[in-house]
Structure 1
């Protein structure tokens, strides 16, 4: 064999070995399936990364809200309001029955009272019954589960003296049963203080345009003379009393609160409150003095009736100056300080 051929063979073998080594070092070439799988994996990774970026703040907010909810105190349950109106009605009716029975029962027939009050003494019962009329519940309060009912009754005694009298009765309701704990107790009526209406301080002439409007309205409203709607503000509905209780009305006094000058020409939508006192007559010998608190509204240069006020105008009460309160004394059993005007005696301490 010639040297030249030998060299060519050796070079071919070395080249073949070199190509095999290169094939071992290079990564395998991916086919179509491998390329598709790789692309999907890359997209999935991208979507997952974007989801993490988006949900990261949401998770932080949700975590913060959860922490705030856990730190927030539990809501206070609203107190349940128990309807006592039925018990109150039962106690009031029973108290009236006991008081009337007690006033009209005599010694010779004590059974009605004994059926209502267990400890009633027959020997203390009257020998002559009282005459009663117009019973009504004047006051009812609940104390420690017991209803304290005050009943007002018009009573005529053996001297033919008639008076409105008041009786207090403790009534207890248990499982649908009602019990009078004692006999009725005569008590004093509520204190009556004479009232006045100083808020109506401006005198208005009864023959003035305002006075004529009010007089004509009252005549139509309670005496049935004329059309009430002529004197009303548009949109206001007031029906005349039917049948009319009076034959005629005379306006005696008219005053306003002073907010508006009744002598000046009114501007549209101005309002004025007045108190009208009138004599309403049935016949020449029978009449009633009536009072009407009215609200008037101006329209087209004249006053019209807007409302019959449910209550007259009353000046607002000025609250007492706290600096004049005496806070040095506190009733026994109470931790609160009761304001007492200086110079006045504090309420006496009471012991339970």
Structure 2
């Protein structure tokens, strides 16, 4: 079970408060907390499955069909309907159906191993980068919905998983218990958020996602203050609509936020997570990504699964979203363990070819919690 403070903090960043995991939809707006006298007295324990306004959360009506390699998905909510589709590429090499599969935001850009199907998801169809409020998600929930683009993309991933479950393995040849999600750059940010908010994803693999993804705001802003040309919170909110518009009000002073992205990463635990980064692009803030992932590893360690989270940083100049061969083995190890049930190869590594050293005590006044 995820700590509620962690969940609520990240949900607020994404522009959501009551939606979480794949069972829940995106509400039209957050409920107003009732004041005394607005609700009846109840001497018994309140129903934990009711929202504050007395209604039960549902999710959009999802219908789906598959023709050839294309899955068509229709979502209906509040009298509105939207449709989108994803393309399924059958795995190469040996293997037997049902196959594991990776949902690639923008198609993904890591090498997929033999035996793994690839589901190409056009997240820009669901929410465009700029401006906020454009795309099929907002056609369904309204252009002023507080959710940012990253959360809208994650919503779309969850609907893809819904479709796979509805169609069944006999039709799709996909094993929904062995699903991964990946993407690079902005799509890597979206992949991380999708994996954080849907427990049905077994492996999360964001690539070169940098600030606003596996990088912590506090560390990124400190880098910017010390002269590094990195995309910090004040810059990121001026361009693309990836985050809730209300983030603008706190972007200048992230120290007031009761959360940071090590907690977003922690929402993936205890499932598999590999952060892939280019240590040679300052703009991505690779020291922040390394530090943030190191802090998040404490969450995994508290759950006794420290070997399920890893980071692979390698410098390959300005080649963005072009994985060098030196990182292929790291990626393959995570695909092998979490999607292919392989026993060879190790996970849990925290590798960087850079010279920086991250000191957790410098950034954290908390220690490893003992969870049971």
Smaller-chain TM-score range?
under 0.3
Q: TM-score, normalised by structure 2?
A: 0.19
Q: Which has the higher strand share?
A: 1
Q: TM-score, normalised by structure 1?
A: 0.19
Name which one, 1 or 2, has greater alpha-carbon Rg. 1
Q: Which has the higher contact order (CA 8 A, sep 6+)?
A: 2
